[in-house]
Structure formats: C-alpha cells, structure tokens
Chain A
C-alpha cells in the first residue's frame, strides 16, 4: 500500500510564501524562517495566533495588511473561497462561450500567421512615437465607437486582442519612455517647506550648530555649519483605469505609470469597480507585471466606478499623503457607472486636499462622458494620451 507523502510543513510554507510574493509581499528566506520559528514557539497548530503572528512577519505595509486575510484563506482554506475570486486571472473575468470561441480562433489564426511571417518587424509596436496610429484620425475621433466606452464593445475588443501581441516594446522605446519620465519628474515642482536642513555648503549659517561645534575648539568657530531650505520631492499619484472600455489603452497607461513609479516614486493604483494599489508590482522590474496586475484585478466586476474609486483613494489609501502640492494623475476615458455628479464631488474633495488633478484621456479631445464634462471645472489640466508621442508632446504641460 503506497501512501502519498504529505507535504512537509516547510514545503507548504514555501508554497504560501510564493503566493504572497506573487501579490507583491516581500517574503524572503528570512521571513519564512521567522514564520516557522513563530509557529514552533506558538507551540501548536491553533490557527488564530499563527495567523496573527505570520501576518506581523509577512506584511510590511497597510496595503499588504489589508490583503492578508484573503491571501491566507486562499492558500490554507481554498474551500472557503468565494466563486468570484480566482487565483490567477485573465484580463476578462467573465466572457461568454461565443466570445471565448472567437478568441480561440483568433489566437489560432495569429499563431499560424506568425509562423508564416518572420517574427522580426512584421508588426512593429503601434505605440511608437513614429507610427502611432491613435494619433491619426479614425479611432481617436471622439465620435467613434471607441470613445463611447463600454457602450460599444465589439469592435474595440477585437482590436484589443490584435494589439495585445503588438505590445512588444522595443528597448529604445522603453528607454525613450524612461527618459521622458525623468524629464517630466524633474519639471514637477518640489514642495518647499519652512524647515532648514544641514548641508555643506549652504545658504544660511546654522548659528546654533556652529556655536555647538565651536565648543570642541574652545569657542573658536573653526567649522561653521550651514543650512539650506528643505524641499520635499513632489508626491505623485497615478490612477489608471483598467476597465473594459479602456482595455486597448490600459497597457500603455500601465507602462507610463511604471516609468513614473520608478522615476518619481509615484504611487500607482488601478481601478474599475474597485481601487487597488499596484505600486510594489510597478517598482519591480519583471516581465510579468501585466499578468500580476490582471491577477490583482481579477475579482473586479463589470462597469467603471470612477467616482467611488476616487473617493476610496482620498479617504483610505492616500489619506495621510494627499496634501498641498500633491499631483494626482487620472488616466481614464471618464465613462462612469456612478452618478455623473458624484465624479465632480469626488474631484472637488481631492482638490480640497490641495491636489493638482491632471486627467489623461485616450482620445484627441476630452471624451463626451457626462461625468467628465460636468467635472471639467475641477480638473487642472486635460491631456490626450494615446501614444508615447503624446506624452512627449505633453511634457511641457506637466509641471
């Protein structure tokens, strides 16, 4: 009789650690050792204390703290899992059979097509500054079906699928994007504070410190201490819409967001019906970022709740950091399933904190969405962003 050996505790723990890492938690060998140690010291297999202890070890921020209950249950109690949440998700949570079959056919066609074609530059990235099609006529016209967001879904979706494998960015384009991000970051105004900080050489003599130092030389101020005005780096928050209506543009938005997360330490959020922070995923240099973001947003339902997401952002996620001089960049087409007036209220609340709001829309002109039109007065600047070239063109406006 051969019994299948049970998973060793350390192996089970390693699997759990892998799941945590997939969700952006920093769980290395040291953390795993601490977790084992904690379980040993707690001296039993009672769940509540182990769960609390592991949470304290594995979580390092409020975001991770909020994720924990779900992740813990997902691994140790898959039976408690609600049907809507999936471990690793595709971009589209719900898709009917007909659409799935169509997608499969398209994939097969593309595979055979790409087998025949040489893989070199047959389909160069559509987001290059040079041949950016969205900046032409056609789909970027506000009257076109795409601009109607979720209302007309079929045409853009086929296009999105087509675009997906055209999203290979050439290294020079990535370099260009990073360079742009650095340039724009340098133009963002740092926050002046009233404080002075010690620096050699400085603008002002730090009398107190100079006198204090002079004591070491019997009162002779041999080493004067200087001060400069302290400036805080600008705080940048990027909120990218990843709803269905934005499917075709989400990849570009996330690329841009990632460049700024690295260049300006921006905090990045994605939303459609809910808001989730993806900053840790953005700061890591991994090829599978898109996949991970898909996994994060897999539980989201249909529709786009921009106003609710913005409120959640201001009241929960960025509560303590939204201050005068903060930059909030919203990347969305403005089609909101909430009441149109709510968006204006949410933006007004954001402005009440002193934030400067810039709205990036994927169309040439401001989308005709009622919510966005109504809230126009609260937006500091609207910038079209459908390609890298657009970002380059807008770099003088972003300051």
Chain B
C-alpha cells in the first residue's frame, strides 16, 4: 500500500460525492466511499451517531441521487412483523369468500392466500419494487431484539418468507440504510451483516458549507459567526447537543429577524436560543455571561473575563 494518502476518492465514489452535493447533502470523502462500497458489495449500511448529524438525511439524499423510491420504516418499541413486513388483508379475503358463496365452484384456500390479498408494509414494499429503491430503517435501536432477529433474513438474503405463499425474493436489490442513536446495543449478528459508519458532528468548515448551501440568501458573516457559536456550544456539557438541523433552524430564525451578524444584545440572542437548546436545564445553564463568552470566544477573551467570573464564583 502506498504511503502517500491522496485526497481524491475513487472516480465512482467521487461522482457519488458530487451528486450528493448537488442534492444539498455535503458528505465527506470517507462517507461517500462507504456509501458507494455498500452499493458495490450490496451490503446494508449501518449509520450511528447522535441525533441531528444527518443520518436520515443521507438516505433521502441517496434516494434523490439515484432516482429511487425511498421506503421508510420508522422503528419503535413493539414493532412487529405485521407492521414492518406484511399482513393479510382479512377484510378482502372475507369479502371474496362471501362473493363466491352461492356459486358452484367454491373458493379455494389458494385463491384468498395470494399476493393480491397481501398488504405490503415497508419491508415487503422495498423488496417488491421493480426499479431502484432505498430502504431506510430508521432508529433500529428503538425496535425490540426479536425484530432485529427477523431483519437478519431480510438484510442477508433480501427475501421475506410468507408461510402461506413461500419465499418472496427481491426483484431489484434495495439499498438499505439503518440508523441508530446508540440507545441500545445492537446484536453482533446484525452489526456484522452491515457496513458501519459513525457520523460525527461536522467540522466548522463543513457545517458552514452546509448552512450556506441550505440558506444561500443569509449573510456570510452571520452564517460563520452562528456556526462558530454552535461549534463552541457543542463542547459545553449539555444534555442535548444541538445537531445540524438545529443550527439551520437558528440561522434561519436570525435571518428572518433581519440580522446580518450575531446580535450584540445578549438578551436578543438568548430569546432565539430556543432553536438550539431543547431542554430546560440546558437553557438554564447558558446564561448571559456564558453566552457572551461563547460568542466572543473567537477574540481570545477568556483570561480577562474568567478571572472576575472565577472570583465571584469562589
């Protein structure tokens, strides 16, 4: 292996990177390579990371890039097969039986247990697509372990077994993206079937680029200052760290309030912080002084201001 690490990804991965960029999703090269590889190896991709780092958005952007149908399965506690894969349409089955009731050749079991009477839920829907499809299994850590075990068949073989009909295989292998917030440890079996990528909060430059591409009309100075503030805020001990969506909300709010830079008046700034801080404790922890320190952090304050603050505290 050459020791020279080159900056560019492979042609195909970089093409994917560019097309993701065109849809407004700014991925880094590693992520683009991983997504591309998942397609090449036909393996599901497991994305982990804090809430608001762009896990779900990646699936949406990928579907847009590939012109694919996005099928989304939102996981929750108690999710079962009937809600995730398929269910028999009992109503239609009964109706079919009643309709054929008086007729000479009565209805056979195979008549009512056919594909027509099957209600497609997200997993089956993704498997039976004729064209390209992106299957997003969102927040898999919220689902039960039993459901995780069921997923293994779907993810490894891209097939679902319906006892009355047989095994339904995918006509077109869907691109599968699983996301997890890490509230529960996923099983090793599931992890091993997937490629893994841990999404972290974006770097300063990338986040500025993301906000600029989402809000091109906002002032550059405002975007840069606001993103710097959020980046510093993430180092604070918060119970809910603001994600990219929160940054976008905040910049949008400031823009709508006709600010071209961060407001000098801390009272105004604090009123808009509801976009970033979503719990009472976090809001309480960030007072006027702390907010000012965070805003002015770029001008190497700290020392002069920390001393009196420290003295007051002690």
Contact = CB atoms under 8 A, between A and B. Distances in A.
Interface string B1-35: 11111111110010000000000000001110110
Given A49-B10, A62-B48, A55 B77 contact: no
A56 B37 contact: yes
A61 B185 CA distance: 9
Interface stretch (A36-44, A120-128, A247-255): A36-44
Contact of B29 (A48, A59, A319): A48
B80 A198 contact: yes
B78 A60 contact: no
Contacts of B198: 59, 62, 65-66
Given A26-B188, A47-B3, A320 B196 contact: no
Nearest to A283: B188
Given A55-B30, A61-B191, A47 B6 contact: yes
B91 A215 contact: yes
Interface string B177-221: 000011111001001101111100000000000000000000000
Interface residues of A, number: 47
A320 B192 contact: no
Given A43-B10, A60-B188, A320-B181, A77 B3 contact: yes
B182 A62 contact: yes
B207 to A, nearest CB: 20
B114 to A, nearest CB: 16
B182 A45 contact: no
A60 B196 contact: yes
Contacts of A215: 90-91, 94
Given A215-B91, A218-B94, A52 B34 contact: yes
Contact of B9 (A49, A55, A196): A49
A60 B78 CA distance: 25
Given A26-B188, A52-B34, A59 B77 contact: no
B255 interface: no
A57 B195 contact: yes
B88 interface: yes
Contact of B37 (A38, A193, A319): A38
A142 B202 CA distance: 49
A116 B13 CA distance: 67
A53 B192 contact: no
B195 A320 contact: no
A45 B29 contact: no
Interface in A23-75: 26, 30-31, 34, 37-38, 41-53, 55-57, 59-62, 64-66
A76 interface: yes
Contacts of B182: 62, 319-321
A287 interface: no
Contacts, number: 124
Interface residues of B, number: 47
B157 interface: no
B193 to A, nearest CB: 9
Given A52-B29, A197-B78, A320-B183, A45 B188 contact: no
Interface string B26-60: 00011101100110110101001010000000000
Contacts of B7: 48
B237 A26 contact: no
Q: Is the interface of A mostly helix, strand, loop or mixed?
A: helix
Interface centre among A43, A61, A66, A76 (most CB of B within 10 A): A61
A370 interface: no
B1 A47 contact: yes
A390 B192 CA distance: 40
Contacts of A66: 198
A195 interface: yes
Contacts of B45: 56
B30 to A, nearest CB: 4
A315 interface: yes
A193 B91 CA distance: 34
Contacts of B4: 47
Nearest to A194: B77
Interface string A188-229: 000001011110000000000000100110100000000000
Given A26-B192, A60-B192, A60-B196, A53 B5 contact: no
B196 A48 contact: no
A120 to B, nearest CB: 40
B2 A45 contact: yes
Contacts of B185: 61, 265
18 contacts: A34-B43, A45-B1, A46-B8, A48-B8, A53-B34, A56-B33, A56-B38, A56-B196, A57-B195, A59-B198, A60-B191, A60-B192, A60-B194, A76-B1, A193-B77, A212-B90, A265-B185, A321-B182
Give 9 closest A-B pairs by Cβ, nearest first: A215-B90, A52-B30, A60-B191, A65-B198, A56-B195, A56-B34, A52-B33, A47-B5, A49-B33
Interface of B: 1-10, 13, 29-31, 33-34, 37-38, 40-41, 43, 45, 48, 50, 77-78, 80, 88, 90-91, 93-94, 144, 181-185, 188, 191-192, 194-198, 237
